[in-house]
Each structure stands twice: as C-alpha cells, then as structure tokens.
Amino acid sequence: MNLLIELLAFAVAIGVLVVVHEYGHYSVARLCGVKVLRFSIGFGKPLFQWVSPKTGTEWTIAALPLGGYVKMLDERETGGAPIPVEALPHAFNRQSVWRRFAIVVAGPVANFLLAIVLFALVFATGVTEPAAVVAAPAPNTPAALAGFDGGETIVAVRAENAGESERVRSWSDLRWKLLGAAFDHKRVVLSAKDAHGTSDFQLDLRGITEKDVDDDFMSRLGFEPGGGKLTVAGVQPGSAAQKAGLGVGDRLRAINGIPTDNATAFIAYVKSHAGTPVTLQVERGGQAAGKLEDVRIVPQSQRDDATGQQIGRIGAELATQVPSIDVRYGPVESLQLGARRTWDLAVYSVRMFGRMIVGEASLKNLSGPVTIADYAGKSARLGPSAFLSFLALVSISLGVLNLLPIPVLDGGHLLYYLVEAVTGKVVSDRWQLVFQRAGLACIVALSAIALFNDLARLIHF
C-alpha cells in the first residue's frame, strides 16, 4: 500500500511540475506569436494525442513520464524541409533575442510562481507546527552563549541595532529567520518569554559559515524544540535502561540535575558519558504515574560506526511530545510569505550547488527520482499541507536546476542569448554543438550521482 501511495504521489508531483514548467514556455511563446507544434508530457511513444483545431498544437502524453517538452516552429529543426513563407514570422528562430529569452525563461519562472502559490495556500489554510520553545542548549553553542537556559518561548527577532522586530510564530518560522540572518552573517536579538517575563538575547551568527548551513543548522546553534515531554517508548532487553528499571511510559525530567525535554540533547549527553554513572530524574508511568524517582544508570560503552569512537548508550527508545501551535495567515500576508519562502529556498539551493562544485558540500546532497518518490509518498501520508510544501520545494529545485548555465538546460540557452545580446552575433552552430555535448555529459554525470545516492540511501551502504 505504501508503495502504491509513493508511486501515485510521485506521478502527481512530476505531472504537475512538468505541466506547469512547459506551460510557462507555451503561454509566452503564444504571446510572442510563435507557433507551437507540440506540447508533450513525457518522452517516447505517445499514449494519447489530441490536436487543437484552433491553434494546431498537438497535445501529447507519452510513455516515459520523467519530463516533457514544447516543440515550436523552428527553421533549424525541419530536417531540411522548407517552411511556408507566410509561417516564417511565427518561427522561434525568427524572433528577437529578448523574445526568445522570455520564452525560455518562462518555464523556470512558472515553477517559482507555482511554489509561491503553493506556499501561500499552506500559510492561508493553516498548519500545525512545533511552538518556538527552546530546550536547554548544549554548552558553548551560540544559544548557550546568548544566555538561553531552556523553556523560553521565542516571540520575535530583529537585527542588532537596526530595524523593527519580526514576529516569530512557530519553530519553522524561527528557523527560516535565523537561516537568513546566518547567510548575512548578522548578530540578531531574540525576544523570548519565560515564567519571569520577556527578555532579549543577543545571538551572534557572524561565525556561521555556509558549510554550517545544513539540515543540522539549528542543532549547531544549540536550538532544539523544547517545552515538551520526553518519555520512554521502548526498552531493549539486557540494556542499561532495563537493568536500571526504566519502563515504557516513564517521563525523563532531568539528567544529572539538568532539565531535559528534548531527545537530541538527552542522547548527546548520554553519548558523552560512556561508562560513567548518571542520575535520571524520572516521573513514573503506569501504576506509579506521577511519582518522581532518581534512577542511577551507567551508559554502556559502544563503538560508533560513523566516528569509530566509544559512545554511551542506554538502550531506550525515546518519544518527544513538543507543544504545537496552529499557524494561519491572511491572504496578502500568505502571498508575501510564499514569495519570501520561495526566494530563500531558491537562494539556498544555488548556494548549496555552488558549495558542491567547490567541494565545500557533499555530493550526497543530490537526490534522484527514487528519493523524490519516497518523500512524495511520506509527505502525502502526512497530509495536504506537507504534500503541497514538498511540491513547492521540488518546483523551486526544478526552476533553479533549469536556470543553471549548462547547455541542454534552459539556462544554457539563456546564456547563448545573453552572448548574442552583448555581441550582436548568434553563437555558431559549431560551438553550440560542442557546448551541448559538454552539457549533456554534465547532466549524465549529475544524474548518475543522484541515482547512486538514491541506491545508497535505499540499501544503506
């Protein structure tokens, strides 16, 4: 059943993205007076064909659904067959350089516009997210140095000595605001509430490099969702947890006197205390519910396969219930936030790709169709908001990818047109052929790496 959901979600995602991208090319081509011969979803043998009696465009659904194309009237692609004189003004190659530029760039632009609309829908219809409550930060992290103790709810952020405060509505909202500040290497002031009132905390992000901006970005800063309940969801037989008497449903309140409400921070503390006794404050579940006890436990020392170092484990499965909030915005604000989120993600994608080129980021960040299908299925099972957000993210990635100055892609053609606009000369067919072969080699290499990463994630090697 899960496989069926993944395949269906993947088909819907790819279908929507390809249609929107190609319709961008199609609509601007029609506005520029260019005759469109075929609008194809997919490649290979046609499964369905229909010719519009009004425009003469052939609409096609082909057998291989991974992509699509818009074929326009072009003297260079007739195989030597002449084009009627009356049709020449409607040929793509007869258009001005700026019209050709507009037609080509319209595909990626359509993907960005789709992302804005999808994000706006998510913001307008509302989504349940973790509240911006912070857990006790790890020592010497930027959050700890800023003075956070854990349990504070961040309500606003502003640049140091400038600008007015921006409201923080949720954990996701906080992450995006800190991400933008980190890219700009700023110091920011976070306003946070606790039991004693509202206080300001200065957070220094000037030392954060682009290499630090990844999926663990918030953890690197010392921020983890807090304010929730950390409970034992399972105990492994023969483990330190079982020997200490931990049971399913027990709530972990503190470790060595340090309050704990976040699994990540708790696990990190246990890992750093291999073979060293620690004391857990536990609120008993089950029949002894509500009773507080101190439990002494010695994390077992094990070798970490990733680092080769000895780390501590107690053999307990943990579950975290963090406070959540329903976030909903008005129509205008939703569009503004959708545009900002799209811009931020597009910039982040370009920077990440640049880091991969210069070796500052791993090529493992590239994903192929298998991973996309997996995430499509997972997001579809989480609900409409998650699936729409996933669709917007992939739409942005598709738009950015197509704008890269690689021949074969839209960006490669845009580069030709910019050269033509500056020099007044069309890039020769000979050089276009050379660049096209080089671009094709790049695309094949990137596709191979993405497919390898998919397989590596699938079989865990």
d(Cα 172, Cα 196) in Å, to the nearest integer?
25
Find, among 135, 138, 134, 151, the residue nearest to 270 by Cα.
138
> Which residues are within 8 A (CB) of 222 and not within 5 positions of it... i.e. 6 or more apart?
137, 138, 141, 142, 143, 144, 148
Coil, helix or strand for 329?
coil
DSSP class of 52? -
Cα–Cα dist 87/80, whole Å: 16
CB 9 within 8 Å of CB 379: yes
CA distance 22 to 32: 15
Q: Of residues 6, 22, 129, 152, which has the active-site annotation? A: 22
Question: What is Dmax (Cα atoms) for the chain?
Answer: 91
**DSSP states along 159-182:** ETTSS--EE--SHHHHHHHHHHHH
- Residue 274 CB: number of other CB atoms within 10 A? 18
Residue 406's SS3 state is: coil
Strands 127-130 and 153-159 turn out to be unpaired
Cα 345 from Cα 392, distance rounded (Å): 10
Q: How many helices (H) and strands (E) does the chain have?
A: 12, 16
Task: Clarify whether 210 is annotated catalytic.
Answer: no
How far does the chain reach from its first CA to its final CA, in angstroms?
Answer: 26
Q: Which residues are catalytic?
A: 22
